[in-house]
Amino acid sequence: MDTRQRFPLSIAAEFSRTPGPRTRAEGEHSAEEFLETVLLRRFNEAVASQGVLFVDLDGGYGYGTSFLEEAFGGLARRKGVQLVLDHVTFKSEEEPYLVDDVLSYIREALTGSAKRQR
């Protein structure tokens, strides 16, 4: 069992229940905005405390592939795939398969589908 300190982050409560497109230029509540205003700061806090950022994906209307890829794949491109995998965990009871999808965006952040979609 992981005994490290947990830093909870609910996207619906702390950012938006209606996450938008990939970039700021494309519209409101974008993944780029989420990454730069919320996710990076909260991730840095968790890493500095040797803790885990516990991301709750529930509570919103749904996520576009581009939002999840840009936010979490983008985090992995900036901070490194392994560091992100070591310090971020996900929860989704409403859409459990989302967790696997997000983990694949992180693993493939520097290759594969991330490049294809950009």
Which residues sit at the interface with other proteins, rule CB under 8 A? 18, 20-23, 26-27, 61-67, 94-97, 101, 104, 113, 117
For residue 89, the minimal CB distance to other proteins (Å) is: 19
- Residue 88 has φ and ψ, to the nearest 5°, of -130, 135
Tell me whether residue 53 or residue 92 sits nearer to other proteins (CB atom).
92
CA distance 78 to 75: 5
Q: Residue 22 — φ and ψ, nearest 5°?
A: -75, -50
- If the CB atoms of residues 43 and 70 are measured against other proteins, the closer one turns out to be 70
Residue closer to other proteins, measured from CB, 80 or 112: 112
Q: What angle do CA 28, 30, 34 make, to 5 degrees?
A: 120
Cβ–Cβ < 8 Å for 46, 7: yes
Tell me whether residue 16 or residue 88 sits nearer to other proteins (CB atom).
Answer: 16
